[in-house]
Amino acid sequence: MTDKSQLNRTRIVEVARELIYEQGYAATSLSDVAKKLGIQKGHLSYYFKSKSELMSAVATLKTDQIRSQIEAWSLECGKAYDCLERVIAMMESAAAELAAYGCPIGTLCDELGKGNVELQAEVRDSFDFLLRWMTARFSSFMTPEDALIHAEQLLAMAEGVAVLGHAYRDPQMIQRQANQIRLWLRGVCGDA
């Protein structure tokens, strides 16, 4: 693939990611993506043969973005609390978007789980990566079994806040609950 083709492909995936986040997978058509890009729908087929193939590329992009973010966090943070608190800060900084559209991974997993479990598994890779990273942070000061339980709990709390914030369209709820999760995390981590 030429550099220009790769740039076009990347742009298509970015636009599809944005539309799918804002409208949902089922409500987003290839025509919607083409229209937003200002190209003919047939031009998309050069890059993606189907909507499912495009969704796979969106899922890969999202997992790659999370992986890059977590790698940066890992280089910047020291103690377990400082690393794990970044998950809460990320949620907090995206409060307006979460209130408007929900969690980009969670809402998509929910939607795909009702009709396309193969694509759901690809999207869930982002959660899997985040869960492994959080488990490793908790493992620095507790047993692996307890670390997994705490990582799952942190992820469940963050996702629950995103769902409720979106249901009520209330970014302030997300801010308030982020502070509560932070208190819980401080109690779990102590000085770690």
CB proximity list for 38: less than 8 A, separation 6 or greater? none
pTM score: 0.90
pLDDT tens for residues 20-79?
A: 999 999 999 999 999 999 999 888 988 999 999 999 999 999 889 999 999 999 888 889
Q: What is the average pLDDT score of the chain? A: 94
Query: In the predicted model, is pLDDT for residue 91 greater than 70?
Result: yes
Distances (CA, A) of 172 to 89, 180, 182: 14, 13, 15
Assign 3-class secondary structure to 67-108: HHHHHHHHHHCCCHHHHHHHHHHHHHHCHHHHHHHCCCCHHH
**Percent of the chain clearing pLDDT 90 (strictly above):** 83
pLDDT tens for residues 99-115?
A: 999 999 999 999 999 98
Angle 101-107-111 (CA atoms, 0-180°, nearest 5)?
125
Q: Can you say whether residue 190 is alpha, beta or left, with left for phi > 0 and alpha for psi between -120 and 50 degrees?
A: left
pLDDT tens for residues 155-190?
A: 999 999 999 999 999 999 999 999 999 999 999 999
